[in-house]
Every structure is written in C-alpha cells, then in structure tokens.
Amino acid sequence: MAYLPADFDRLPPQAPEAAETLAPSPPLWQLLLQDMRACLAAGVVLLVLVMAFIGPWLWPQDPATQWLSQVSSGPSAARRVDVVSDEFWHGPRQNVSALTALQATTTQVKLAWPDRADAMSYRVYRNAGGVGLGMPLIETVKTHYADRLQLSEQRYRYSVVAVRADGSTSDPEWIEVKPELTLGTFEAQLLGLDVMDGKVSLPSHPLGTDALGRDMLSRILHGAQTSMLVGLSAPLLFITLGAFYGALAGLLGGWVDNVLMRIADFVVALPFLLFMILFRVALGIESGESGLFPMVMAMVLLSWPSAARLVRGQVLQLRESAFVMSARLAGAGNFYLIRRHLLPNVLPLLLVSLSFAIPQAIFTEALLSFIGMGVVPPTPSWGTLCNEGIRSMLTHPHELIIPALAISITVLSFNVLGDALRDAMDVKVRRSLR
C-alpha cells in the first residue's frame, strides 16, 4: 500500500467528545447551585448559624428571666400593666348580697358571697372552659376567698357551693370573671421594673413563654448557641483528627498502617455514653455543673475512626492511581503530592462526612442535655428545652413543639445538604473518570 500526499494533511478540527472529557469538571459549588433542595437546605443552615450567633444580640431578652404572671402563655405583645398589691386579703368591708368579684386581676380575684344560715362551710370551684364545676379551690368557713392560682387573662366561672351539716350541698351560685393582667408589687420589685403612674412595661413574647414564664424566642436563640457550639466544634475536631490519622496510615502503609487501623478498630468498640460519664467523673464535674466539656471530649476521642477509615481508603486508592504514579515519576515530592493531588481529592469527601457528623452531634447534645448530662439550668439548649417542654406537654404543647421543630429542621437541613454534596461529588467523580 502506498501513501498519498493527502494522507499527510492535517485533519479538520473535530472530536468534540474528546475535548469534553479533557475539560475540567465544574467546581462543586456550581453543581450544588443547580440543586434546589441543596440551596434551600444551605439557606436554612446559614440562617440557623446566623441566628445562633447574632440572634441573642438582635433579641436581647434574658432567657433566664421569669415573667411569673405570664407562665405558659401564647404569643403576646409588649404592653403596660398595673402593679397591684399582693398582700393577703382579709375580706370585704361590708357584706355582699350575692356572689361578687370585688377585684378581678391576674394577681388576685377577690370573691365574696352572702352567708347562708344552713351552711357549715363553702366550697369554691373555678372552671376555665370545661364542663362541670371545675377545679376545687378551697373549702372554707369564711364568706370570702381571694383566688391567686396561676390566673391568666381568660374567662373563668367561679362557683360557690354551701355544705350543710349533714354533708349535703346546695346548688352552686356562680359568677363569670375575666381578670385583667397585672403584676404583684413583689414581683415587679423582683423583676426590677420601673413603676411609673402605677404601671410597668412588659416586653413582647413572639413565641410565648414556658412553664416558668421565660421568653421562648430568647431561649430558642440561646439554645441554638449551645447546640451549634457543640454541633460544630466536636465534628470539626474529630474529623480533622481522623483525617490526619487516616492520611498517615494510608501514606506510610505496611505495618504502621496495620497497627494504626487496629487501634482505630479498638476505639470504635468503646461505648460513648459510658466514656462520657467516666470523663465527667475524672474531671470532677458534679451534678449541677455544665457537662459540655466532657461531652465534646468524649465525642472527639471516640468518633474519629470513621473519618480516619474514610481518608485512609481514599489515600490508598489515590496512591496507586496513574496520575499520582506519573507525578512521582516526574519527580514530585511527598509534600507536592499531598498538596496537589491527595488533599483536593480527599477534601470533598471530608466535607460530606462533616455535613453528616454535624446533625448527629447536634442530636447527641440534645439527647444528653435532655437526660440531664449536658448543660445545667438556667442555660438553655434545645435538648433541655424539650425536656422542660415534656413536663407540660399535655397542657401547653407549644413548649415542646417549638424546640423539637428547631432540632428537626436544623438536623434535616444539614442532612439534605450532606446528601446534595455527596450527589454532586458523585457527578464530579463520574465525569472526571469518563
């Protein structure tokens, strides 16, 4: 076969497929931006982080202040209320002709009723919207009673029943009362509020208050701080530790690798809760002192092996790959190899595991604070908020639902973000291998 001169001509420009395989894969963040749920999750995560760190500054209410006249209340606006005497009431000056409410405030509802000849004593009941007489308040021989029991601004029906000598009871006499929100003098003094014209200003509570009258919004924001502090610091620390450990094992290989990985296997087998309690004891932390430090310590010291394994596997694979070999042949040093080839290929992997470790750490903190191993009162954390909410779950569900939602949404966002990151990584890996 003979060659024609034409055979030695340039080929026309072509092969777009080949050009595409050589093009660098798009950066991770671009892939992420194409993903709707990733954007949403990232937005929520950013919002939570921002709120955790500047939120308490934007909403400067003290999360420990107890507005005792507004316990377990729903959302309320700022307002000015009267300060009234909270002294013991000795009864009305003159007799009344029917059941009367002489004062109707949330500090005291002063009731008086006429005496009945056949009555041995009187039972006073209070009904707040249920059926029947409602809650028994007192059995008294007097003809007056001041109700002070956790009054809120709602309609109450008070019933007074006379008890006769033979134990039988009269038909109830009743009255409807809607007390006005006021503060007792001692409570106003305790809160350190300025009394002007007999009135004080109460702040608003956009998410209501808890069972001790503490502002829920402020507690959620301060709780976020605790949760984020643990949720970010522990994973950052243990993943960094694990990455170095794994990289060392992977790079050195041989018997060193073997020994290091057996140690990692050993650490995996250690029970987390037990060690956290051991650290508490070892550090001399008593009940009543914050257990956050031993918690983070136990997380860091016991959770690194998974990151170490991940990195070691990746490093082993990369070490044998063609481009690392060729770089080595071209005379690249260890430092250059790590910086140019290993780190960029391991980093996204770490990012993914970090985004899964964070929600897990938030959850662990919430769980441990829930069972009383974490922060101590009055410092809030989402876990302790849930614990407090459970006490009044049946009567005031918002005290449990709000912190539970905060935990769920945050953990979900981190998880979705992690998922999206992993998917984006997959695309990137697939493209670069094609």
Q: Give the footprint of another protein on this chain (CB under 8 A).
A: 64-66, 68-69, 71, 86, 126-128, 130-139, 148-150, 184, 186-187, 189-192, 211-213, 286-289, 372, 376-378, 390-395
Residue number, 151 or 297, with CB nearest to another protein:
151
3 state DSSP class of 168: coil
Give least dist CB 34 to another protein, A. 49
Residue 384 vs 410, nearer CB to another protein: 384
Find the shortest distance in angstroms from Cβ 390 to another protein: 8
Q: Which is nearer to another protein, 79 or 391 (CB)?
A: 391
- Closer to another protein by Cβ: residue 252 or 393: 393
Residue in 91, 93, 98 with CA at minimum distance from that of residue 113:
98
Using CB atoms within 10 A of its CB, is residue 235 exposed (0-12), middle (13-18) or buried (19+)? buried
> Rounded to the nearest whole angstrom, what is the least distance from the CB of residue 384 to another protein in the complex?
10
Which of residues 25 and 127 has its CB atom nearest to another protein in the complex? Answer: 127
Strand partners, 138: 124
What does the chain come to in residues? 434
Nearer to another protein, 64 or 338 (CB): 64
And the tokens for 53? 């760190």
Q: Report in angstroms how near the CB of residue 100 gets to another protein at its nearest.
A: 21
Cα 360 from Cα 415, distance rounded (Å): 9
Nearer CB in complex with another protein: 51/133: 133
Least distance to another protein, CB of residue 109, Å? 11
Determine the Cα–Cα distance for residues 43 and 417; give it in Å rounded to an integer: 10
Residue 91 · residue 141 · CB < 8 Å: no
- Minimum Å distance from CB 235 to another protein? 29
Token couple for 423: 């998917």
DSSP 268-332: HTS-HHHHHHHHHHHTTPPTTS--HHHHHHHHHHHHHHHHHHHHHHHHHHHHTSHHHHHHHHTT-
* C-alpha span between 315 and 343 (Å, rounded): 9
Min. distance of Cβ 288 from another protein in angstroms? 3
Measured CA to CA, the distance from residue 390 to residue 366 in angstroms comes to 14
